[in-house]
Amino acid sequence: MVIECENITHYYGNRLIYKNLNFSVEKGKILGLLGKNGTGKTTIINILNGYLKPREGNCRLLGEETNRLSPDTKARIGLLLEGHIQHSYFNVRQIEQYYSRFFPRWQSNEYWRLLEKLQVTKTQKINSMSCGQRSQVALGLLFAQNPDLLILDDFSMGLDPGYRRLFVESLKEFTASGEKTVFLTSHIIQDMEMLIDDCIILDYGKILLHMPADTLMNQHPGKTLENIFIELTGKY
Amino acid sequence: MYKSLIYKEWIKTRSTITLLAAVFLAAGIYSFMKTGEEIRLTGMISFWDTLIQKGINFFTYYKYMPLSLGILTAITQYIPEIQQKRLKLTLHLPMPETRIIITMLLYGLAVTIIFSVITIAVLLSGLSVSFPREIIRLTFWFILPWFLASPAGYLLAAWIIIEPKPHIRILCAVPSAAAMSFFFFNAKAGAMQPFIIYLAIFTIILILFPLYSITRFKEGK
């Protein structure tokens, strides 16, 4: 298993977020985490990244505890923060040079291949780019890192339909070999539908379901993933 | 990898460092011009007399500048990391987290120490042209606490900025301001000399404070 979470219980103050949450993700799978606002999607991402210590339970990424990942394991995990956040004081070339020295499997050509599709110069600062362009820089850096596991928090956030499509297609191409594992969340379920093998639907405090996306779709013939999600979790 | 981390810190701070270098240079030139003017107006003997009897210092313009340097360096280094939680990206680099933070802190400390050493050296060398060794020695001990305030202020500012909870930041700022006041006692020249060692030890201990903030950040406090 690439991701294993056992008996995760977490509270913010006295408010219960989850109790005894269990899930795992196999190698080569793309898992989509769906849930309404406030169900704790970002909390799970933070626990997986090692930036939140749950009250109880533990999570392992590539066999290591998430809050004690070794440098070698970190190099195998690609992280996309909500809003495609990057070090925006760098320009396009500087940021590639910066990251390239950290990651042993760095593939510069993957970054530049993606950047060629954008109308940007190598000296353009990231903070002067549109959200869509920044998303491509962030994705290009992830591809260049060549990680075994990608954790993408709300990858559609702030993107127009064109950039969403570009992001999804680039990601599909990158994961086509079946060797990469992806854990992602998004507010736009249509985008996830094009990508995911498995899905987890979160409700307040618990996992409502965790199953292969195909099985879920077959159980609800003629319905989109979005319709199934609304049916299972209620409109509001 | 260390080179890359230092490169990132340089990109963030280079404008601030350039600006501060210009301000320090201007203050130095102004101090020397002002001292020269005083000597021309009152004569060297009268000026020496005033200096020794009243304990006047040449470089009062510099009093809070090293502290401002420390705080500004911390702001330019750590505010971009805290904004939108970019620190997550930095801590996710394939290096032990403590080493990443220590490297960033050492960079900032190096900036404050290099500025301080150069400034003190230039000021005292300038003085040595017209004044005896005793006055230069007294001036050195008089201004040294101000320059020690630079790394101390830097470390306290880093501690406060990295602290994840806004209300705790305010709680941290109050004792920090109180602690910094120890560096600015209006004592006669040389009176602070026995305390310098304690101020230096205090500054070294302060390295632990930003590391504590990082631990809290990692735990999602």
CATH code for the domain in which residue A148 is found: 3.40.50.300
pLDDT in tens, A108-139: 998 998 888 777 788 889 988 888 888 888 88
Select from B7, B94, B219 the Cβ nearest to the Cβ of A53.
B219
Distance (Å) from the alpha carbon of A7 to chain B's nearest alpha carbon: 18
Please tell me if residue A77 touches chain B, with a CB cutoff of 8 Å: yes
Q: Residue A145: how many CB atoms within 10 A of its CB? A: 24
Kindly indicate the confidence band of residue A235, based on its pLDDT and cuts at 50, 70 and 90: low
Chain A residues whose CB is inside 8 A of the B80 CB are 87-89
- pLDDT at residue B213 above 80? yes
- Enumerate residues 6+ apart whose C-beta is below 8 A from A12: none
ipTM of the predicted structure? 0.85
- pLDDT at residue A158 above 80? no
Give the range of the structural domain holding residue B179, as residue numbers without chain letter.
2-218
Q: What is the number of structural domains in chain A?
A: 1
Give the range of the structural domain holding residue A178, as residue numbers without chain letter.
3-233
pLDDT in tens, B161-194: 999 999 999 999 999 999 998 888 776 666 777 7
Q: What is the number of structural domains in chain B?
A: 1
Query: Which of these, B149, B152, B121, B142, lies nearest to B64 by C-alpha position?
Result: B149
Please tell me if residue A50 touches chain B, with a CB cutoff of 8 Å: yes
Kindly indicate the confidence band of residue B37, based on its pLDDT and cuts at 50, 70 and 90: confident
Rounded Cα–Cα distance for residues B112 and B71 (Å): 10
Select from B86, B94, B218 the Cβ nearest to the Cβ of A102.
B94
Interchain proximity B86–A83, CB inside 8 Å: no
Q: Residue A119: how many CB atoms within 10 A of its CB? A: 6
What is the pLDDT averaged over residues B71-90?
93
